[in-house]
Structure 1
Amino acid sequence: MTDPRTDRTRQHVLSCTARLLAREGADSVTFSRVSQESRVARSTLYRHWRSRDDLLCTASLPGFSPELLNGQLGMRRFLLNYLLQTGAGLTAPGAQAAFVNALHTAQTNDVLRQNLRLVAESFRRILESRLGPMDSWDHARIIGPVFFQSVVMGEQADGPTLDRWVRDILAMPRHGGVHDEDPDLRPTGTE
């Protein structure tokens, strides 16, 4: 169990980073600037985040509500909230630029690429907690529309769009790695 003071400090730093990101853009997020904004020593920042990109990526991720994470919602409301909260996090001020920057940097930065994979896995685990086992193909079919709407289009999906996505998700076959779809429709070399 982590010290509550450590958790509060991390949340404070992430909040300051998100504000700096929204106000001045991704280029403004440096350990020096975040230290100055948050009034937390740079050495503390380095203990929690290995690099500026790691901090930037973490600060731009959506925070999920406790009721979403602890199984209090029915399946439909769980999916609606998951998609809504994911979209809200990705369309928050500065988040789109930070996420695109992280994707670009991850092409040549193994640590950041691994961090992005860990983020994707944590998102998938949240879904699996309610939907059961799924592979990356299943996960991409669920999160893909939100990612496109939020990161590419730069806007959050409206209620009717989210309702349609949830209906589609509940109707799609999921087999946790075994797909009975037409193999000609799947890219070659996939799981």
Structure 2
Amino acid sequence: MGEQPAAASGAGPREDPRRVRSRARLLDAATTLLVKGGTEAVTIDAVTRAAKVARATLYRHFDSGTELLAAAFGRLVPPVAVVAEGGDLREQLVSLLTAQAKLIEEAPMQLTAMCWLGMGPGLGDNADRPELRSLRRHIAEQYRLPFDRILAGPAARELLGDMDPDLVLAQLVGPVVFTRLATLPPLGPDACARIVDDFLRARALPEGD
């Protein structure tokens, strides 16, 4: 198996459909096991048995069980939150943070993926493997991109001046993540508005600067 030669017309290489199907079956099995039983359920034996493929086939797609699990997480992490344009800086941040809090509460798989990456393979010898890089990028985009779009705008620059994006993300999203990890009551719109107000009050430049 493997990629087929490029067509004479100059089209790019097309992957063998049998390879595509076997990878899809492996990921279907891995994601089902992950949802039902957590990370410990996603073993090589369990996945190959559920997908009805040989171990050798799995290893043609994934170098290890760690890469397979990262790919399964990547399937389950939801897309980037979308915030409607318009409104002032505070309104946009409150809307985005409220959306993020709801997403974490209702579909916390990206939080599970963050914990898995941070406490295990994301820090070890496998950290630079393709599936792990892809998962880290996916999670980062989930949290970063919507905030980056807002904070890069002229209103944010005028009110807040130069800022460290990583610190801003920690200050705004950190309480939401901590609340979920600590199994505290979820943060609703009023709490998210308070977090944003406290952030803006602490970070706003003095008048005249």
TM-score range normalised by the length of the shorter chain = 0.5 to 0.7
Q: Equivalent residue for 2:37?
A: 24
The structure-2 alpha-carbon separation of the partners of 1:131 and 1:59, relative to structure 1 and needing over 3 Å to count, comes to: farther
Pairing partner for 2:123 from 98, 102, 107: 107
- Give the distance between the partners of 2:25 and 2:200, measured in 1 at CA: 41
Pairing partner for 1:158 from 167, 186, 200: 186
- Give the distance between the partners of 2:144 and 2:41, measured in 1 at CA: 31
RMSD between superposed Cα atoms in Å: 4.5
The percentage of aligned residue pairs carrying the same residue is 19
CA contact (8 A) 2:30 2:42 kept: yes
After superposition, where does 1:7-156 map in structure 2 within 5 Å? 16-37=29-50, 43=57, 47=61, 51-60=64-73, 62-64=77-79, 68-69=81-82, 71-72=83-84, 75=92, 76-90=94-108, 96=112, 99-105=114-120, 106-109=122-125, 110-111=127-128, 114=133, 117-122=136-141, 123-132=143-152, 135-150=165-180, 152-153=181-182, 155=183
- Give the distance between the partners of 1:14 and 1:56, measured in 2 at CA: 9
Pairing partner for 2:199 from 156, 172, 178: 172
Q: Which moved more, 1:38-47 or 1:98-107?
A: 38-47
- Structure 2 regions of 5+ residues with no counterpart? 1-16, 87-91, 154-163
SS at match of 1:85: helix
Large movers: runs of 4+ above 4 Å? 9-16, 38-47, 112-117
Q: Which has the higher contact order (CA 8 A, sep 6+)?
A: 1
Q: Equivalent residue for 1:188?
A: none
Letter in 2 for 1:172: F
Q: TM-score, normalised by structure 2?
A: 0.53
Count matched residues: 166
Q: TM-score, normalised by structure 1?
A: 0.57
Q: Max radius of gyration: which structure? A: 2
CA contact (8 A) 1:88 1:156 kept: no
- Structure 1 regions of 5+ residues with no counterpart? 181-191
CA contact (8 A) 1:16 1:37 kept: yes
